Amino acid sequence: MQEQLILGIDGGGTSTRVVLASRGGKVLGFGRSGPSNYDDVGIEKTRENIRLAVEQAWNKSGLVRRPADAAFLGMAGVVSDADRSIISEIAASLALASQDFVGIDHDIRIALAGGLALKPGIVLIAGTGSSCYGRNAAGQSCRVGGWGYLLDDGGGSYYLGIEAIKAVVRSGDGRMGPTALTERILSTLGVEEMQDLMHRIYSPGMSRTEIARLSPMVLETAQQGDSVAQKIVRDGQNELALLVEVAAQRLNYTTEGLSVVAAGGLAHSGNYYKSGLYAAICSHLPGVQIQEPVLSPVFGAALLAIEILGTYTPLEVISKFQQLDGEQP
């Protein structure tokens, strides 16, 4: 009998990651390509990047490519039935697996599935943007935040960057006291005079990603004792903690026994930031258990693909995935 194979797909705004594995947890191949948030790059580019990453994983396995027995796609930007229909059409066109064995959801779902190894709880995403997703033992779920940088994304890297720029402007006007952020942001942006800052922001303009890249400098300035930067970081951490608090309330969680996992580049940007974030979460939800992710999101997608096959996922599968998680490209 042919071994059953699964595909786990993590389609993000920066890259697309794929793992090809057996139902028993043997990792056969990894793939990686460009972004696949179709809101950002369009449907055809999303299709192409998924195809490239899947093809790479199959090629590395040394096996003849065929439809997998199950596939799960966790995709950035998937929040509605219309979004799921678009990704479903892409999956069908690429023959990833039989449509009855294809699962599709947002990328926060696979972050939770990997982070807590399929156990119920809450995942907080703190990256360029911010969002939160939780599931309880009854299978109820909810998403909080994740509305994009124009509407929300409080506490993420973009938030830290844009709030720092606003602080520099207010300080320059005299509406607030001096801050070390002024010299550092002007230098980073290649601006010699405050009067030139507006032109740098608006023309030629700065992208969301460029502004988010200011966050490490904001954290460093805060760590060095600048009170303005410290307040920006602290306010952002409280915004993130509020996401977790609301998710817990909506899922009727008590803090006792509630597991929370933080994911994303900002959440793991160093002990200074992490300790403050964890303290903020515990302040909002005393007694909550915060843990490090068990697996990365792409392996969370793989676990959910195995679930589609209708079997319980044994601990040995999770253990096998853990051994190779760090080797993905």
Question: Closest by alpha carbon to 75, among 60, 85, 65?
Answer: 85
* Residue 205 scores a pLDDT above 90: no
- Asked if residue 284 belongs to a domain, the reply is yes
**Could you tell me the CA-to-CA distances from 129 to 20, 108, 116, 124, 170 in Å, in that order?**
28, 12, 21, 11, 24
- Asked if residue 89 belongs to a domain, the reply is yes
DSSP SS3 for 291: strand
* Residue 214 scores a pLDDT above 90: yes
Number of domains in the chain: 2
pLDDT band of 314, cuts 50, 70, 90:
confident
In this prediction, residue 328 carries a pLDDT of 67
Q: State percent of the chain over pLDDT 70.
A: 98
Same structural domain, 84 and 205: no
- Asked if residue 130 belongs to a domain, the reply is no
In this prediction, residue 329 carries a pLDDT of 64
Winning range, highest mean pLDDT, from 2-6, 165-169, 322-326: 165-169
Full domain range(s) for residue 249: 157-291
Tracing tokens 């969370």 back to the chain, one arrives at: 300
In this prediction, residue 310 carries a pLDDT of 84
Same structural domain, 253 and 302: no
For residue 103, the one-letter residue type is G
**CA-based Rg of the chain, rounded to a whole angstrom?**
21
- Asked if residue 301 belongs to a domain, the reply is yes
Residues with Cβ < 8 Å from 42, sequence gap 6 or more? none
**Separation CA 319–CA 329 (nearest Å):** 19
pLDDT band of 217, cuts 50, 70, 90:
very high
Same structural domain, 58 and 176: no
Torsion region of 131: left, alpha or beta (phi above 0 gives left; psi -120 to 50 gives alpha): beta
Q: Indicate the DSSP class of residue 97.
A: B
In this prediction, residue 188 carries a pLDDT of 94
CATH of the domain at 266: 3.30.420.40
Q: Indicate the DSSP class of residue 30.
A: E
> Does the CA dihedral 249-296-48-96 come out positive or negative?
negative
What are the counts of helices (DSSP H) followed by strands (DSSP E) for the chain? 13, 10
DSSP SS3 for 68: strand
Q: What is the pLDDT of residues 251-268, one digit of tens each?
A: 999 877 899 999 988 998
User: Which of 174-183, 282-291, 313-322 is least confident?
Assistant: 313-322
Same structural domain, 280 and 306: no
* Residue 37 scores a pLDDT above 70: yes
pLDDT band of 313, cuts 50, 70, 90:
confident
- Asked if residue 174 belongs to a domain, the reply is yes
**CA within 13 Å, CB half, 144:** 23
**Separation CA 228–CA 118 (nearest Å):** 40
Same structural domain, 206 and 259: yes
* Residue 175 scores a pLDDT above 90: yes
**Separation CA 225–CA 227 (nearest Å):** 6
Q: Indicate the DSSP class of residue 73.
A: E
For residue 192, the one-letter residue type is E
In this prediction, residue 94 carries a pLDDT of 97
In this prediction, residue 1 carries a pLDDT of 61
Mean pLDDT, the chain, integer:
93
Same structural domain, 203 and 251: yes
Q: How many CB atoms neighbour CB 96 within 10 A?
A: 24
Same structural domain, 113 and 196: no
**Separation CA 224–CA 229 (nearest Å):** 9
Same structural domain, 79 and 53: yes
What are the φ and ψ backbone dihedral angles of 133, each rounded to 5 degrees? -145, 140
Mean pLDDT on 24-52: 94
DSSP SS3 for 133: strand
Same structural domain, 181 and 301: no
- Asked if residue 122 belongs to a domain, the reply is no
**Separation CA 216–CA 157 (nearest Å):** 8
Mean pLDDT on 290-295: 93
Same structural domain, 93 and 176: no
* Residue 315 scores a pLDDT above 90: no
Say what angle helices 181-188 and 157-173 make with each other, to 10 degrees. 110
Same structural domain, 287 and 298: no
Same structural domain, 101 and 191: no
Cis before 216 (ω within 30): no
* Residue 209 scores a pLDDT above 90: no
For residue 191, the one-letter residue type is V
**CA within 13 Å, CB half, 326:** 4
Question: Which strands, in side-by-side order, build the sheet including 5-11?
Answer: 27-33, 16-22, 5-11, 70-75, 102-106
For residue 108, the one-letter residue type is I
Question: Which strands, in side-by-side order, build the sheet including 121-126?
Answer: 141-145, 130-135, 121-126, 259-263, 289-291
- Asked if residue 319 belongs to a domain, the reply is yes
